[in-house]
Amino acid sequence: MSLLGVAPSFTVVSILLLVMGFSSAAFHVPSPVMVKKLSGNYTGKGMSYFMFGGEMARTIGPLVITGAVSLWGLEGTWKLIPFGLLASLILYFKLRNIKISTDLKKEEKKPGYWASTKKLIPFFLILIGITFFRAIMKSGLTAFLPTYFYTDKGETLWFANSALAVFQLAGAVGTFFSGTISDKIGRKTSLLIISIVTPFLMALFVQSTGVWSFIFLLLLGFFMFAPGPVLMALVQDVSKDLPVFMNSLYMTISFSTSAISVVFAGLMGDWLGLEQTYLISAIIAVGAIPCVLLLKSKRE
């Protein structure tokens, strides 16, 4: 990513982004399985720590790259490469001895991919429903929140940019607590509470102004990102066979719905305005509630 500033053409930029995508997938697909192995009976808590780190990086990252561009210009962002290499080295030495496929290798008969997937098709259909109904609401906020404050609300540019940082920070706090809470009250109960509360907070946020909009934005950020650790823990709970492959299916669902929903949110924003888009997305998000109710109840 640090080489984007010196890329000579769109083709090179596309290649860099493709390589970055493979790199991201190579880390994010097996890492939740590692987290589960190290978390013992507290999978939700482990997923919370894992996602808290990711959300904090998502919060601090834009500040870092903005500072780098201010100091060196876009062409000078390659100077951040040593920090990325250092992070990769730390990850390598920390994770190299965690063998997530040991249990599968011990089995005389390895589970088949199709047989294992077939058993979980109903479960993954429910996950598709949950992520789909919430996707436009989440993508619309993360992608267009500064634009909404600046153009629709008439706030200052500083206020608009600060809003996104506040939203992401609140989301990091939400991911930190939600997985741990789901260990205690159950995954289904946690997701049900989140799915009920979030649309109401979205509606209150849209109808509020000034300080109140920031207060509701904080609460909205907390609940908007909270399902992440719970869903990842849930996938690991049910994926006794081929846990890495099953997590890859979940990540595919998550990334695909996010990519598609941000396009729809943008189209709706141009057509109806962001305020109406946010209200409609809150109504659509109610559809996640019956999907959660279809999950099997199990005290974790």
Positive or negative, the Cα torsion across 91, 105, 242, 194? negative
User: Distance of alpha carbon 166 from its chain centroid, rounded?
Assistant: 16
Secondary structure class of 100 (helix, strand, coil):
coil
Above 60 in pLDDT, residue 135? Answer: yes
Query: Is the overall model pTM greater than 0.75, yes or no?
Result: yes
For 44-84, how does the pLDDT look when each residue is reduced to its tens digit (9 = 90+)? 899 998 888 888 887 787 778 878 888 888 888 889 999 98
**Which residues neighbour 86 within 8 Å (Cβ) at sequence distance 6 or greater?**
none
For the chain, the straight-line distance linking the first and the last C-alpha, in angstroms and rounded, comes to 39
Identify the structural domains of the chain with CATH numbers, from first to last: 4-101+115-293 (1.20.1250.20)
Q: What is the pLDDT of residue 216?
A: 94
For 270-287, how does the pLDDT look when each residue is reduced to its tens digit (9 = 90+)? 999 999 999 999 999 999
149/163 Cα distance (integer angstroms): 8
C-alpha dist (Å) from residue 177 to 47, 61, 225 = 10, 22, 11
Q: Of 29, 38, 45, nearest to 187 (Cα)?
A: 45
Above 90 in pLDDT, residue 238? Answer: no
Angle separating helix axes 227-238 and 121-147, nearest 10 degrees? 160
Above 80 in pLDDT, residue 98? Answer: no
Above 80 in pLDDT, residue 100? Answer: no
Mean pLDDT, the chain, rounded, equals: 87
Could you tell me what percent of the chain has a pLDDT over 90? Answer: 40
Above 80 in pLDDT, residue 101? Answer: no
CB atoms near residue 120 (< 10 Å): 18
79/8 Cα distance (integer angstroms): 17
Give the tokens for residue 253: 């669902």
Give the tokens for residue 139: 């993508």
Angle separating helix axes 10-28 and 31-39, nearest 10 degrees? 20
